[in-house]
Structure 1
């Protein structure tokens, strides 16, 4: 674990790079250089613009940016994001469509807490809005949560989901994406034992590490190689003086981003080189593909140290969910207690983060469910991002999920047929 000054040092380095970009942009854009026909000034200006924007985005929470949805009559209906439940580490938000009657399908999107904001699911939410009432777990940046508000680990995350599901009621269909898949499964099992009437109608798990050992990836290999002591020393820092969470132990977003970028360094390097050259030629735009992707990708948030460390230790190393030994608030959660919630798993054949085999393990754990209430889909050619936000999601997976929801809606839970 590093002291507080190391967190401030990272923030200072980010500020310095942002300033260097702004200075280069301002200097190279000075009007007098128009008299010097040399491409170096255009290139320097372009480098400055791209650099300034990139480092500025790292500390800005992206907006949802979902303004309208087309109604049945073809009119654009305004969308408002309203907070239904407010908690220290995350809110339950609802995309309310003005002028539209409540939709029959009620979907809770459980967003990952893995370095990026819940807005990573923007396109997923937008694709579901025309057909569903959409609710999302909107997690807070740990650096902004005062130490006085306590801890937040995977048990707290699970109990947050329990509270959100109780708020929404039993006619809810849960879609958990990536990291929260095992915890959404645990929350459903917890409700099955403690409050059966609050259980959702269905649970769709997309690309989540239910059993990380089912298929090895770089992520699982790293979890095996590094001891918890090494991980705490390498990853955990104290929030600096600039933020409300000063002194809180976190896994900093900037450190996570460095890891994300290093995994595909060549691809990111080429993307930024191409962007700078396009900007120098005047061929870029404010909302081109590069900016749309990196405005979201570079916006990172801190995770509480206890959440990150308990995820690695309990989900990846000890495999508590995979072995049906997960404990929440002192109570063992028996996944076999799920008997009335239909469960579907979705995997991407080319997923290099949660490889095929990791997510489908949930179906074997649901020993109390008949096979008619279980379903699985393996999407050919799809990577991790594509199974919830790309072409594969839009064209293939989304229709399957909606059919699965419809098959398990209503006061009497229908037996799931082949989907």
Structure 2
């Protein structure tokens, strides 16, 4: 057992001030609510709080195609009508709208996950948290499912510079398809996704039979679930599969995506998990004492998202939180109970013991095909990414560099602030 874990936590207040649109279920505002709840429980005093750097286009292009990154960089709500073909090509539109400061939003949440991975690689912390990250549906050349840049893939690529094998675990209600697809042909990343599957549920992938191909055969694990799974069934299945995975695969680091749409009462979800059940998975993964990168993900009942990720921050800090929510800037969202715990859901559990038993057996069967950890030859570790100098000659003189752009080029480190009021003008409907 190592002594007290060193925890790095990444947050930038600007990430919560973007707005996807009036009827869109994704509310980045939930990130401000989470952060203020973390502050109100004084958890920030037990960890290092950082403002992430804003990822550069060239960093995003480590996974995404350069033309897609460039388009995200250029497109604005005012100009999108001129690019109808590109919007179709890159899957921007209803689910993935173009909104004000879209690219900066991507830079912040991706920068947080990349920074988290680098701190882990440099052994500056044991656990790194970026609740703004976890956007697991984005593909190499297109947006998908409210996700534009796949920060998880970028974080894993960073971890692979120092670790022969990385384990990715996903407890979002939706299948972690973008991450699985990115590493489908390699044994250097094992992806394990627990998700709802069937009945045309987005994204429609994630059958237990999807196991990877070529060198990646059996290194993609899918645990397809039905409506209404509860804490007991979920955590039992989670623990037995993850134990066997860690024992068989022997990863050097773990990335855990904690999508909160698997909670009871989520606007888009259909599971019955309580916050304690969800957090039990985090507690279990922490016990392996491996370098751990933790992100957010889905979650569309925002007061419950804030509750969940705050409790899980507490779990990672070995801190039990009192149930009564302390006063904070967003306290009114937690009325009338003002309590941290939420009631369990009442959706009928369609996951029979025999169904779950069959899934578990198939997963174990696939793991037996691996037998032992693959012998990955570690190549020389490439250097951390160096940020290129800006060449003033190359910058388009017609595009005056506004103050906002200049600010984005300043790398702010180690910044910490008690209160952000950048959200006051954007308190959208609950």
What TM-score do the two structures reach when normalised by structure 2? 0.27
- Compare CA radii of gyration and give the structure with the larger one: 1
What TM-score do the two structures reach when normalised by structure 1? 0.28
* Structure number having the greater strand percentage: 1
* Structure number having the greater helix percentage: 1
